[in-house]
Structure 1
Amino acid sequence: MANYTKGTVKDFSGFDARADAEVLRKAMKGLGTSEEPILKILTSRSNAQRQQIAADFKTLFGRDLVDDLKSELTGKFETLMVALMRPAQLFDAHALKHAIKGAGTNEKVLTEILASRTPAELRNIKQVYQEEYEANLEDHITSDTAGYYQRMLVVLLQANRDPDGHVNEKLVEQDAQELFRAGELKWGTDEEKFITILGTRSVSHLRKVFDKYMTISGYQLEETIDRETSGELEKLLLAIVKCVRSVPAYFAESLFYAMKGAGTDDDTLIRIMVSRSEIDLLDIRKAFRRDYAKSLHHAIQKDTSGDYRKALLLLCGGEDD
């Protein structure tokens, strides 16, 4: 939903996959593991370059790099390094598969990915999911979810949001009025109106609808969603509205809450830092600094430790204070 501008991780200049493979093998060979070269290499190479390193590692040593990382590393640091090695095009499909596998569903992951990805990205995720797991993503999601939450996910999965461009002012007025009638003016809520409008209109159109809605109702749409809906549907609708307003701000908020209070939500922290590192992590950093009066770098430093912290700080790519 955003124009991607700035990642913190780019192609490493003077890249030599073979030399990197040799350094990684040396770091993991024999007794004990040297974590420093592993984290330095894997956080400073692009995902495409990491895949080349893995291919050369297998050619040179007849070993699988990811298997070696799993056997030599532990804990959150291992999880982060393995996540960095996942091919970029597979990252979201793997996260979704993991979220709906086994007992219980991780709705947080479904909401985050489906609310924040562009229609083109969603089409790609569906295709990769089909190829990788020989299964239909929509079928898997509908068998694990229910109600209006499921319907909103299905609408997003169609990836048929109107293309950005010309905004029809009459339709802006009409959509804002319909949302007002479906929520604030109605006893109960017409969830289907929210689902259709938020799931199919273009981003630039929706931004104007949100402004018009504020004029008509005196409320931000988020306030209405908060009052009129609940549970997973509420979280999903709010995520869509936030992503329409600003994808980087949405991820900055997710990172802030992942590190707020007692305990850190490391799954969310790793997923966002890895998946956005080549897309818009610099924009996320800027939004984090603006909205929470501290830098993302500072928050990571405070809430993590050891090699895991070092690797996250390198992915973060610098301080904003």
Structure 2
Amino acid sequence: MALVSEFLGQLTLGFGGVSIKREARFPTVVPAPDFDPEKDASWIDTAIKTKGVDEHIIIDILTKRTYTQRRDIAFEYERKAKKDIVTALKGALSGSLENVIMGLMKSTAQYDAFELRASVKGLGTDEESLIEMVCSRSNEELLEIKKVYRDVFKKDLEKDVAGDTSGDFAKLLLALVEAKRDDPSNVVDYEKIDSDARALYEAGVKRKGTDVATWITIFSERSVPHLQKVFERYKNYSPYDIKDSIRKEVKGDLEKSFLTLVECFENKQLYFASKLNEAMKGKGVKEKVVNRIIISRCEIDLLKIRKEFKKQFSKSLYATIVEHTRGDYQRALLNLCGGDD
């Protein structure tokens, strides 16, 4: 029953006795009505044992259940079949479909933790994945990820990030991973908005060289609504907007990280929509990027990402998936997408 206990270990609502404020959700995967985990487990067992494996049944059950429901299915499967459902699925599936299904059998926080671990372990660092996940996750998400990371890998995410990155890039990522961002306030502090806007200008465009430490503090600790107002106020001081200022002041992974933060502060769902569009342009699909966004956001805000995708690119995410993917992999992604727009 190791798998079941691992699943149950993901149900965390707070850390150190501190409750965490949850953001509004706009999922495409919602609880299935009339849910019967015992029946679902039986269907999956039959599908795995079928000669040639019935992938459609596996897909249509697991992509149309929430993680909590999948956990219940796993419990029933293990109880009846006396074996681990993840091991059974891994043995029955392969390739792109296996990657999606294996991702779905993890909680969102566990999936993110595994993706972050993969981006920092071994030779070389997957900076693109690291930047996307660390810069786009909320305090709530980062705290959950860090707990899972420690539980699963017996390591601190901070130490692994520090060991695999360097310089100001490492300092920014570590500041973000600390999850010290202020919660949004109902009170608008115009004096602090002006002070932060001026500080960003004086630490960058106004001087020779960049005081990156000041930028890191403001970008990693202020609330998102506050920063949105800071960036607007910034235009009163600088001849360049905040994005152009970033491009002028810093380069490489640090530049990409600051720009990702600004894009997520302005419209996080548009950021993810743009990443999905980029991953499905031209020949070939960047499956790792597509999988990561769709799997990690399908129970959070994929519905809003879908709407931003249609608005920005004049075509639906659903139609784009149809155009660029095939077979069982396509079926799984379309189910998670949740419909056409």
Listed as ranges, the matches of 1:37-48 within 5 Å are 37-48=57-68
- Farther-moved stretch of structure 1 (150-159 vs 128-137): 128-137
Identity %: 39
Unpaired runs of 5+ residues, structure 1, are none
Q: Structure 1 pair 292/2, CA: closer, same or farther in 2 (3 Å)?
A: farther
Match of 1:252 in 2: 273
1:301 aligns with 2:322: yes
1:161 aligns with 2:181: yes
Alignment check: 8 A CA contact 1:2 1:246 kept: no
Encode CA deviations 1:191-248: one digit per residue, 9 max, x unaligned.
Answer: 2221111111111110000111123324321121122211111111111111111211
1:285 aligns with 2:303: no
- Aligned positions, number: 320
1:95 aligns with 2:111: no
1:314 aligns with 2:338: no
1:134 aligns with 2:154: yes
Match of 2:18 in 1: none
Equivalent position to 2:263, from 217, 220, 242? 242
After TM superposition, the runs of 4+ consecutive aligned structure 1 residues lying more than 6 A away are none
User: Which protein, 1 or 2, shows the higher relative CO under an 8 Å CA cutoff with sep ≥ 6?
Assistant: 1
Q: Please state how far the C-alpha of 1:30 moved relative to its aligned partner.
A: 4.4
Listed as ranges, the matches of 1:1-321 within 5 Å are 3-165=23-185, 166-320=187-341
Alignment check: 8 A CA contact 1:225 1:234 kept: yes
Amino acid at match of 2:174: V
Amino acid at match of 2:134: L
Q: Give the Cα–Cα distance (whole angstroms) in 2 for the partners of residues 138 and 235 of structure 1.
A: 20
Matched residue of 2:207: which SS? coil
Q: Give the Cα–Cα distance (whole angstroms) in 2 for the partners of residues 184 and 71 of structure 1.
A: 56
Q: Give the Cα–Cα distance (whole angstroms) in 2 for the partners of residues 76 and 276 of structure 1.
A: 18
Encode CA deviations 1:92-128: one digit per residue, 9 max, x unaligned.
Answer: 1111111111111111222112111111221221122
Q: RMSD in angstroms over aligned alpha carbons?
A: 1.5
Q: Please state how far the C-alpha of 1:266 moved relative to its aligned partner.
A: 0.5
Q: Give the Cα–Cα distance (whole angstroms) in 2 for the partners of residues 312 and 189 of structure 1.
A: 43
Alignment check: 8 A CA contact 2:109 2:141 kept: no
Unpaired runs of 5+ residues, structure 2, are 1-20
TM-score, with length taken from structure 1: 0.96
- Farther-moved stretch of structure 1 (235-244 vs 1-10): 1-10
- Farther-moved stretch of structure 1 (33-42 vs 256-265): 256-265
- Farther-moved stretch of structure 1 (187-196 vs 307-316): 187-196
Q: Please state how far the C-alpha of 1:7 moved relative to its aligned partner.
A: 0.3
Q: Please state how far the C-alpha of 1:2 moved relative to its aligned partner.
A: 9.2
Q: Give the Cα–Cα distance (whole angstroms) in 1 for the partners of residues 259 and 133 of structure 2.
A: 13
Alignment check: 8 A CA contact 2:25 2:299 kept: no
Matched residue of 1:215: which SS? coil
